[in-house]
Amino acid sequence: MRISYLIHNFGKSGGSIVLYNFMDNLVKRGYEVYAITPTKSYKWEIGMWKELISKENSVSHLNLKNIIKKTVYNRIKNYNQVKKFKTLYNLNKITKGLIENWIPSDITISTYCFTAYAGYYLSNRTVSLYHMQHFEEVFFQDYMDRMIARNTYYLPLLKISNSSWLKNIMKKYFNEETYLLNPGIDLNIFTYNPNFMDKYKEKKEWNIVSFFDETREWKGFSDAVQAVKKAREILEDKGYKINWRVFGSNPPTKVYDTQFEYVGQLFHKDLANFYAQSDIVLLTSWYESFPLPPIEAMATGSLIISTQYGVEDYLVDGFNGLVTLPRKIKDITDKIIWAIENPEGVSRIVRQGIETAKDYSWEKRTDVLEQIFNDAIKSYSYNNKTRLFDDLVNGKFKEYMYDEFSL
């Protein structure tokens, strides 16, 4: 079976890496897989994404022409009007490029809102799926970008949600039933030290780690700052010390109300070691859609304190992690304090977290994806409703049209 993935570009975010791992595992199982981009098609080989993302993100790959354009656009008086034109131009360019480079396939999978329109265009020629990895409208501030994302949820494509949170949004706000496909994690990389329980004992110094992002407010880092500051104030009087280290794409640009160490951008084994060396992994986003850091950190044998929305598939408060509602600073603070003062209870939670993570191997997740493929092929209905319009545009008037036009 031939499968084509419609990809905007070769990014290195968690969502992109999820796709690459699914593609790798499909090739391992004998599928013929292609990555279709707006500029080129690639016959997929296992692990090739590591070189592709390196090229995509290298300094030499930066397009000087685009940098100059951006500088000029920012100086134009009617920049907002120019930006709207640029957005539509880019959408058209991406859609045309994907269609032109598409390899005829049994199944074609859109992977991002800006690729879904090409998926719809091809839906009469292939089983067209839309693998959604977040509610992408929230990524954009510009209203036109938001509408481009939102309108893809109305397209007549078979949709896949990566989390129960997203699946619920699709049903509640768009009346769309979707498949559920949780991502996997590499359990050979995100694994625990045999002596991981040694860190959960009575002690006065605790290590917390978090994801750092000051540009996207919804990532909730300012909430983490407030919670850690308050926890430090309360626990300091009891003789406890909290060390806080954070990782992320970009370093801090301002001074915060409590101290932390920024360690840079981490991936794969470096990230796994970072989690494993911590006592608590604190994540305070307002909303996510199956975020990888909590489940990856669970697999390394560390306690997760996370906010609620998007982690429902794998994280249960008091069972395999500690969960609060987002933006509830006192609740987050209380969870930190409870964990530090109750290492025996934490050790029980951490053990269960490791067991939970075992259900998210790539093998098990790819089994689910194959089940979705089989069901989609059986239930797919090629859209012949547009045959009328196609014939009219091509100057044809056929017998069936009398019934079509009757009132």
pLDDT at 386: 74
The structure tokens listed for 394 are: 């091509």
Q: What residue has token string 């280290």?
A: 245
**Distances from the Cα of 317 to the Cα of 209, 289, 300, 324, angstroms:** 19, 17, 18, 8
Beta strands in 194-343 (DSSP E): 205-211, 241-247, 261-262, 280-283, 303-307, 322-324
Q: Could you tell me which residues are beta bridge partners of residue 103?
A: none
Q: What is the pTM of this model?
A: 0.89
| Residue 218 DSSP symbol | G
For 27-61, give the secondary structure using H, E and C: HHCCCEEEEECCCCEEECCCCCHHHHHHHHCCHHH
Q: Is residue 229 scored above 50 in pLDDT?
A: yes
Q: Is residue 407 scored above 80 in pLDDT?
A: no
Contacts of residue 165, defined as CB under 8 A and 6 or more positions apart, other chains included, come to 287, 288, 289, 290, 309, 310, 312
Q: Is residue 179 scored above 90 in pLDDT?
A: yes
Q: Across all residues in the chain, what is the average pLDDT?
A: 92
Read off the pLDDT band of 404 (50, 70, 90).
Answer: confident
Region of residue 404 (phi > 0: left; psi between -120 and 50: alpha; otherwise: beta): alpha
Q: Is residue 59 scored above 60 in pLDDT?
A: no
For 101-138, give the secondary structure using H, E and C: HCCCCCEEEECCHHHHHHHHHCCCCCEEEEEECCCHHH
Domains of the chain, start order: 2-184+364-393 (3.40.50.2000), 196-360 (3.40.50.2000)
Closest CA to 225 of 235, 214, 216: 214
What digits encode the pLDDT tens for the residues 101-132? 999 999 999 999 999 999 999 999 999 999 99
What digits encode the pLDDT tens for the residues 73-100? 555 555 566 777 888 899 999 999 999 9
* Dihedral angle, C-alpha 228, 234, 237, 240, nearest 10 °: -40
The structure tokens listed for 13 are: 């975010």
What digits encode the pLDDT tens for the residues 231-283? 999 999 999 999 999 999 899 999 999 999 999 999 899 999 999 999 999 99
130 touches 155 (CB < 8 A):
yes
